[in-house]
Amino acid sequence: MRNAECEMRNDAQPPARREAARIVQWAPARACLFATACLIAAAAGYPAAALGGKAKFNAVLNIGDPAPEWSDLPGVDGKRHALADYRDAKALVVVFICNHCPVAKSYEERLIAFSKKYDQRVQVVAISVSRNPADGLEKMKARAAEKEFPFPYLCDESQKSGRTYGATATPHFFLLDGERKIAYMGAFDDSTFDPDKAEKHYLVDAVEAVLAGKEPKVKESLQRGCAIEYAETEK
């Protein structure tokens, strides 16, 4: 399968989506064999309720916005979780992932290492809003146990958390500062399948800035991954 087959071709789309279409050409052909939507820039999959656009790559949130609350989400630990549970963390990373996406899988080891590196300072919370059969809670428990995730892995069947954050891909990262405002959102780094080739470490740099009481130099980047498929909402 040629990489071009993974590209978006609708020139009538908004500028952010057209830019995503150009950037998406990086996607390795092998990933297309596993992802039903290929590997696309998430700008192609905005929730239907978010059409106005605020930030460059997010149609719902902007940098500096208060982080949307979420609560009562079941985790792989058998407990219910809420954003407020992590009020004591100096910073918090909410990342939308899932089991089946090859891009999300490629970031698991990096996310595990990140969580351990910033333990006691930055809380990582992973949320799946996927309705793919491979991403059910029981299979999430198996995946978390297999990979020994050191962070909460939550299931949101309502998909509300993903919609309110404007999440469009797995993985899609959101850094919340001490006041729980959006300090950074987008990709983890600029090398999807090979961490050794990463030249831009967006999330790490943003976290270091926030922990130092500064604003990140790069506050937003294009999230790359498998498109989140949202259920149609009642009108």
Q: What is the per-residue pLDDT across 187-200, written as a single tens digit (0 to 9) for each?
A: 999 999 999 999 99
**Distance, CA of 188 to CA of 204 (rounded, Å):** 8
91-106 tens-digit pLDDT: 999 999 999 999 999 9
72-85 tens-digit pLDDT: 999 999 999 999 99
Contact between 10 and 192 (Cβ < 8 Å): no
142-175 in b/e form (b: 16+ CB < 10 A) is ebbeeeebebbbbbbeebebbbbbbbbbbbbbbb
Residue 184 above 70 pLDDT? yes
Runs of H (alpha helix) within 127-176: 137-147, 160-165
Q: What is the pLDDT of the chain when averaged over all its residues?
A: 84
48 vs 225, residue with greater confidence: 225
- The confidence score (pLDDT) of residue 233 equals 74
**Distance, CA of 158 to CA of 231 (rounded, Å):** 9
- The confidence score (pLDDT) of residue 150 equals 98
Residue 23 above 60 pLDDT? no
- The confidence score (pLDDT) of residue 228 equals 98
> What is the distance between the terminal CA atoms of the chain, rounded to a whole angstrom?
38
**Distance, CA of 18 to CA of 180 (rounded, Å):** 31
Q: Compute the average pLDDT of residues 53-62.
A: 88
Q: Compute the average pLDDT of residues 102-121.
A: 97
Residue 170 above 80 pLDDT? yes
Domains of the chain in start order, with CATH, are: 41-227 (3.40.30.10)
**Distance, CA of 169 to CA of 155 (rounded, Å):** 16
Please give the distance of CA 107 from its chain centroid, rounded to a whole number. 11
**Distance, CA of 195 to CA of 159 (rounded, Å):** 29
**Distance, CA of 122 to CA of 151 (rounded, Å):** 11
Q: Compute the average pLDDT of residues 32-48.
A: 42
Distant-in-sequence, close-in-space partners of 154: CB < 8 Å, separation ≥ 6:
73, 74, 75, 76, 81, 125, 126, 127, 128
Q: Token pair 């050794």 is at which residue?
A: 196
